[in-house]
Structure 1
Amino acid sequence: MTSTDLVVQDPAFRRVPAAYGLRWWADGWRSFMQAPLPWLGLAVALLVLLWLLGELPMGGLLSQWLSLPLLAFGVIFAALLRTRMTRAREITPAGVPLEPENEGALSSATQRWTRRIGPLLLASLLVLALGGVIGAVIVMGLGAVFGLGLASFGAFAKVMTPGMGMAAGMGALAGSFMTLMLLVLLALYLFSVAFWFVNTLVALAGVSPWNAVKLSARAGFANIAPITLFTVLLLPISIVAMLPFGIGLLVLFPVLSGASYASYHDVFGDGAAS
């Protein structure tokens, strides 16, 4: 066997319709309902771990670094549940309720996740570094534009009468802040699209961290329509999940894990998992 035989070919991606953003939510819910108790246990463990990390020095940065590998565990578990559901469907006669065998799925997910923990940690570090650098450039650019706006506002206020200058100045200042916030939110959204498939590509397909970042950006922007629809629905769903003392997060985490796997499955296909 030559060294070229050991090279893993990165999976190809496809574009899917915008309506798939709704289907990913539905698939995530079905994944949760297939094994609710293990999912709830995973969600509790994740939230407790992130809370403990937050109490450490630089815990915020540490929890951000570990969040992607921890969420990847949920994606691996969702992939195994879907595989077992598919097998159960193949061997179950028509009209008979499906009863997939989920025993041992959690331990199998742990084994697969452990094998990929190193690349996942590196991929998460790359995402944080790239996000930080690009974010800094954006903030500096916005700061320059915003500073120019303040200077213009100051010059404008000087030539106005006191009453009119105050009113116009406050309006201009509010408008500048609103524009700044919208641009920051847009930047965060574009980051989300670019890094959408990073953890799934590393965890499920064994793609190297740097290649996963590049491939995720191409596949994410090629499928920006369904990702946008999914993200638009995420905001109100997250608010609802937070209302009962955050208890809804115990369900939201499993649903997001199942939805993340569903998006990966639809865009990269069955052959991408390893």
Structure 2
Amino acid sequence: MNISHANAAAGVDWFVCGWRRFKENWTFWLVMIVVMMAVLLVLSLVPLLGAVAAGFLGLVMLGGVFRAARTEEEGGSVQVGILFWAFQDQEKLRPLLILGLLQMLSQMLIGAMAVALVGSRLSQVATLGQIGSPGFPAAAMDFSQLFSPGLLLGFLMVVALGTLVSMAFVFAVPLVVLDGQRPVDALKLSLAGCWQNLGALAVFGLIYILATVVAAIPFGLGLLILLPVTLLALYCAYQDLYRR
């Protein structure tokens, strides 16, 4: 599959595209995102396995979101039930569940890496802080270790790995659902697409951060609009990079 190159301004165009598509059928997209958030919230309240189930079901419902965007683009009608469309198509459900497993494993890897590279160093600083408490020589405290090269390097390595993993998953779901890519191939294509279009994605990310701050002001209600707009903007970005 060929990957197109977009200039930095495309990050703005994708959001404009997402907003335009949201306005065309805003009631459907608003209801869909509310249902999606409600399902994930209920699952997250279930002890132990709830969060795990929410992670897997979240990707399945995300597949339904991109399926709905494609259906609308082709002139078809959509209903909220399309969120769970993948459960009716085992050929799509299996790779989405595999993506969910890979996402969970990658998060565990990043967490373990953070503990190994950053957490151990912070614990050393905390130990020094106890040594510097009454009864111990205050000179033993050395908080400059918080800015030591080892700690900063570990932090940067965790951030770098987290960024690469995020890039691998940005377009993985639409590549699986809409193009029939295998999970690992979808991750590779998503990572390649993001890597080749860092400028556009940086602009996209900056707009998203600023929009999130604004959307959170009215008691977070603006997020109900921002979330579907962002997902539609990601669909527009997918179309621009992989379907041009």
Larger radius of gyration: 1
For residue 222 of structure 1, report the CA deviation from its aligned partner: 1.8
- Residues 164 and 191 in structure 2, CA contact (< 8 A), matched pair in contact too: no
Partner SS state of residue 57, structure 1: coil
Quick one: which of 37, 47, 51 aligns to 1:60?
51
Looking at structure 2, the residues matched to 148 and 245 of structure 1 have their Cα atoms a distance apart, in angstroms, of 37
Query: Do the aligned partners of residues 131 and 107 (structure 1) sit closer, same or farther apart at CA in structure 2, a change above 3 Å counting?
Result: closer
Which residue of 2 is the match for residue 96 of structure 1?
Answer: none
The normalised TM-score by structure 1 is 0.71
In structure 2, give the amino acid aligned to 1:141. Answer: L
Which residue of 1 is the match for residue 226 of structure 2?
Answer: 252
Quick one: which of 210, 215, 220 aligns to 2:194?
220
The answer to whether the aligner puts 1:140 opposite 2:116 as a matched pair is yes
In structure 1, give the amino acid aligned to 2:66. Answer: V
For residue 81 of structure 1, report the CA deviation from its aligned partner: 2.3
Looking at structure 1, the residues matched to 81 and 35 of structure 2 have their Cα atoms a distance apart, in angstroms, of 17
Which residue of 2 is the match for residue 235 of structure 1?
Answer: 209
Partner SS state of residue 56, structure 1: coil
- Residues 113 and 158 in structure 2, CA contact (< 8 A), matched pair in contact too: no
After TM superposition, the structure 1 = structure 2 runs for residues 1-274 of structure 1, keeping only pairs within 5 Å, are 11-58=1-48, 59-84=50-75, 104-106=77-79, 109=82, 113=86, 114-115=88-89, 116-143=92-119, 146=121, 150=125, 169-170=142-143, 172-175=144-147, 179=152, 184-269=158-243
In structure 1, give the amino acid aligned to 2:185. Answer: N
5+ residue gaps, structure 1, are 1-10, 85-101
For residue 17 of structure 1, report the CA deviation from its aligned partner: 1.3
Which residue of 2 is the match for residue 93 of structure 1?
Answer: none
CA root-mean-square deviation: 3.2
In structure 1, give the amino acid aligned to 2:212. Answer: S
Q: Per-residue displacement from partner, 1:121-169 (whole Å, max 9, x unpaired)? A: 221211221342254235423446x369849x89xx9xxxx78876xx3
5+ residue gaps, structure 2, are none
Percent of aligned pairs with the same amino acid? 29
Which residue of 2 is the match for residue 88 of structure 1?
Answer: none
The normalised TM-score by structure 2 is 0.79
Q: How many residues are aligned here? A: 231
Partner SS state of residue 6, structure 2: coil
